[in-house]
A and B are shown apart, each in its own frame.
Chain A
Amino acid sequence: MKTKRQVQKEATRLHILETAYQIYAEEGFSATTNQIAKAASVSHGTIFVHFPTVENLIVCLLDDFNAEINGQLHGLSEKNEQLETFLEAHINVLIRYEAFYKRLISEVNSLPQEAKFVFINMQSIVSFHFNQVIERCKNEKTVKEIPMHIIFNSWLGLVHYYLTNSYLFTEGSVLTEYKEELICNFIKLIEK
């Protein structure tokens, strides 16, 4: 059994992570640990008790984010699902974290090396489900013979373009507003 102290320590850790998530979503990853400490109502030193470096904080945050995406995408993906259902599930998961994800894809190139690998692994979770659907479509000859990575990168490229340039399209949630258009036209591009 965990001691009261351990439980409290974990609660503080989680609270810092949740606050960091909010601050990074609002301000981007250049937000300081001072800002996070203030918003979380903890002392600056407390952050470093739990996360020795800023890099460690970002990596832990992204690890948790991956676990969340993994759980949700797995929950939404079904065996024998249609391409459209999968793409919709992917976008629906992203809509839930839209502000944070938008920051992440805009700034990932300037994040620490390890954070970049965590980001790649996040996309691996998506490509795992996507690949299963596409393999089946290829067997049924309903999609063109395009290499999997081109299909995947084209989809991500499309979604990421709308996200990072959302100001061109709407003031609200670009994924919510353009979901149907993106999905149905992407399918038209790759279907036979």
Chain B
Amino acid sequence: MKNCIACGMPMKKESDFAMGDPQKDYCVYCARPDGSMQSFEEKKQGLINFTIKTQGLEKSVAEKAVANMMSKLPAWQEYFKK
């Protein structure tokens, strides 16, 4: 089983993959409408908004939690080089 390189979600069904294509490394939620992968900023903002919406977190807490999560994902390594 693959995990999405941009958000970590497990991908097992075809419908989990971007464009329903199991060759892709990223999931349907990390794809733009045209099928390309979202940028770092787009994904970060999306995750922050999502965390606030579903867990009610204060913005700065959500930002730090999202940064922690993204720093561990293959797609975003270059943004976290020390």
Partner of A121, one of B9, B53, B69: B69
Chain B proximity of A69: nearest CB distance (Å): 11
Task: Give the A-B pair count, Cβ closer than 8 A.
Answer: 60
CB within 8 Å of A: which B11-25 residues: 12, 15
CA distance A123 to B61 in the complex (A): 14
CB within 8 Å of B: which A109-156 residues: 114, 117-118, 120-121, 123-124, 127-128, 130-131, 147-150, 152-153
Annotate B40-53 by CB proximity to A: 1 below 8 A, 0 otherwise.
00000001001111
Q: Does B1 lie within 8 Å of A148, measured CB to CB?
A: no
| Contact residues of A: prevailing secondary structure | helix
The interface residues of chain A lying within 8 Å CB-to-CB of B68 are: 114, 117-118, 121
Annotate A143-177 by CB proximity to B: 1 below 8 A, 0 otherwise.
00001111011000000000000000000000000
| Contact residues of B: prevailing secondary structure | helix
Interface magnitude class on chain A: 20 to 34
Q: Does A117 lie within 8 Å of B54, measured CB to CB?
A: no
Q: Which residue of A lies closest to B56 (CB)?
A: A149
CA distance A70 to B15 in the complex (A): 17
Q: Does A149 lie within 8 Å of B53, measured CB to CB?
A: yes
Q: Does B55 lie within 8 Å of A117, measured CB to CB?
A: no
CA distance A149 to B72 in the complex (A): 25
Contacts A/B (CB < 8 Å), 19 sampled: A63-B72, A74-B9, A74-B12, A75-B10, A75-B12, A79-B15, A117-B65, A120-B61, A121-B68, A124-B54, A127-B55, A128-B9, A128-B50, A148-B54, A149-B53, A149-B55, A149-B56, A150-B56, A153-B56
Residues of A within 8 A of B (CB): 63, 67, 70-71, 74-75, 79, 114, 117-118, 120-121, 123-124, 127-128, 130-131, 147-150, 152-153
